[in-house]
A and B are shown apart, each in its own frame.
Chain A
Amino acid sequence: MSTLAPKSDFPLLSREVHGKSLTYLDSAASAQKPEQVLRAMDDAYRTYYANVHRGVYTIAEEATQAFEAARRSVARFIHAERTSEVVFTQGTTASMNLLSYSWGSANLRDGDVVVISQMEHHANVVPWQMACERTGAELAWIPITSDGHLDLSGLESLLQRAKVISVTAVSNVLGTINDLAPLVTAAHDRNIPIFVDAAQSAPHQAIDVQALGADAIAFSAHKLLGPTGIGVLWARQSLLEAIPPFLGGGEMISDVRFDGFDAAPVPHKFGAGTPPIVEAVGLRAAIDYLSALGMDAVADHEHRLAAYAMDRLQSELGERIKIFGPSNPSERCGVISFELEAVHPHDVSQVLDEHGVCVRAGHHCAKPLMRILDVPATARASFYVYNEESDIDRLVAALDAAHRFFV
């Protein structure tokens, strides 16, 4: 019955709203930041901040060292074979746009198929829809089972004209941890790449890109205790080398002439403009923090909280609550979407706020999935390293109060 990380490491968690202590259950949208991350970023701005690369003076060199150290730290965190396979972006959305644009323009043609799933976040839907509009390719959707898992029974026919599979590792709505192994095998049997949206999985479980066998993954820093404005695209060196640049500008070139340009080697080819330097320092501090906790311990902690929450929600609210996604808590990370009988998710969230409990309400940027679940929106509680059982007790009590208020 405790948090995994000390709550006192997270300054924001000590504040109050409406005279109540804060119960933050929206980490799947964005996580709170520990002192260690805040201090690392503050220290960078105060003591060695300058633009990176090309600077000869001391602090520019120090800033460049810190920025590139962050890239190595990410490479170790995801067990990449090479540091040059780590591209810094603005976040998962930017990573998926880079992939769908650069890989898509080099590889997609009229009549090709892009296979995604019905549980994707819009960040892994809309960029592909845009790529399809540009190239004449089409989307095919892997359906989901009633228990919130990918339904791979019709995969063979979905893959017939497929040029790529792009799927999420963990559903941001259902919490489902997808078994990607059969999809990786199916993709490679056909010599097509598989890309993974790891926005929800990177904060919650260890990632080993070499063991996973995918060709690219994307995630954001802000969901794993790091700052906003920076994310990661990891892709195989050969893939990054084969596709054209995405954004053009400074830093991404090796030469610019009157008649054209030569792109820089990877990863700098995808690093146009001044990068998020201090954000990279913050991301490294977040990775250090999580690594000290141990990613396996993080995953175990979330499974324990998910199991406790599902048990408490069902025993205290019974027929009044419907929980979406896998019924077995070990098949999901610390994300629980639900519907409270006769109370709209926005009203749930509003009443919970009065109790100091922060949960998200809405379509969670997964409108195709909302259509499958046949709901306009859900309420979603999500747990992270600084949450504990008593947070869930407060959630359950506040939900009971919300239900009494409206019904």
Chain B
Amino acid sequence: MPGLEDLYREIILDHYRAPRNRGELASPPAVRAEGFNPLCGDEVVLYLDVEDGVVKDIKTAGRGCSISQASTSMLSAAVIGKPLDEVRQLTSAFKSMMSIHESNLENETETSQDEPGTVSSDGVRMGDLEALQGVVKFPVRIKCATLAWNTLTQGLDEAAN
């Protein structure tokens, strides 16, 4: 049975207690994207300054549980200054890390034996984001972790239009 230490890794608690890139950007020119998790009442707001195909700046707001807010903070640190194609790759790698495959549910040892690495299966550098992998063992909390990333996708789509 997964323990609390799988869910609340120290790096996650650090981002929760001291969230990075909190604040607002004037919108426009920045894009403002908002995401809600109706189940928990988690709320994530992202301000994205996209210029010349690069996430030049990002600020975050909102409130919610430690997982949703830490994930938002970690996202902001991971995408700031990155070209859009890398951000898209990271988003897709993160979402696939957070998807529950049946083998994970039926055979928990398979995932728990995975050493926290820094590179995802499709070769994308995950860095600190790997710490959120433990959330997969707590299925009701997965939406908390993916909320910021879904909001980011929504914001980037808007910025592209």
Contact = CB atoms under 8 A, between A and B. Distances in A.
Contacts of B141: 346, 350
Contact of B64 (A344, A351, A354): A344
B53 interface: no
B16 interface: yes
A377 interface: yes
A370 B138 CA distance: 25
B66 to A, nearest CB: 5
A362 interface: yes
B16 A406 contact: yes
Interface in A1-34: 18
B13 interface: yes
B7 A362 contact: no
Contacts of A345: 65
B144 A346 contact: yes
B41 A363 contact: yes
Given A344-B65, A376-B63, A362 B40 contact: yes
Band of interface residues on A: 10 to 19
Contact of A350 (B42, B43, B138): B138
A351 B67 CA distance: 13
Nearest to A344: B65
Interface in A382-407: 405-406
A377 B41 contact: yes
A406 B17 CA distance: 8
Contacts of A62: none
Contacts of A331: none
Contacts of A288: none
A152 to B, nearest CB: 29
Contacts, number: 45
Contact of B42 (A18, A354, A375, A376): A376
Contacts of B26: none
B40 A377 contact: yes
A361 B67 CA distance: 15
Contacts of B64: 344, 376
A18 B65 CA distance: 22
Given A344-B65, A406-B13, A351 B4 contact: yes
B8 A346 contact: no
Interface in A309-328: none
Interface in A334-366: 343-347, 350-351, 354, 361-363
B1 interface: yes
Contact of A344 (B4, B7, B13, B66): B66
Contact of A362 (B13, B16, B39): B39
Contacts of B4: 350-351, 354, 405
Interface in B85-101: none
Nearest to B62: A376
A343 B65 CA distance: 7
A347 B66 contact: yes
A18 B2 CA distance: 9
Contacts of A377: 40-41
Interface in B1-35: 1, 3-4, 7-8, 13, 16-17
Given A344-B66, A405-B8, A376 B3 contact: no
Contact of B1 (A18, A346, A405): A18
Question: Among the interface residues A18, A344, A351, A375, which one has the most CB atoms of the partner chain B within 10 A?
Answer: A344
Question: Among the interface residues B39, B41, B43, B64, which one has the most CB atoms of the partner chain A within 10 A?
Answer: B41
A346 B3 contact: no
A386 to B, nearest CB: 25
A370 B43 CA distance: 14
B83 to A, nearest CB: 34
Nearest to A363: B41
A346 B143 CA distance: 12
Given A344-B65, A345-B65, A377-B41, 11 more contacts: A18-B3, A344-B40, A346-B40, A346-B141, A350-B7, A362-B39, A370-B41, A375-B41, A376-B40, A376-B64, A405-B4
In order of increasing CB-CB distance, the 10 nearest A-B pairs are: A376-B41, A344-B65, A346-B65, A377-B41, A347-B66, A354-B4, A346-B40, A347-B65, A363-B41, A377-B40
Interface of A: 18, 343-347, 350-351, 354, 361-363, 370, 375-377, 405-406
Interface of B: 1, 3-4, 7-8, 13, 16-17, 39-43, 63-67, 138, 141, 144
10 contacts: A344-B64, A346-B40, A346-B67, A347-B67, A350-B138, A363-B41, A376-B40, A405-B8, A406-B13, A406-B66
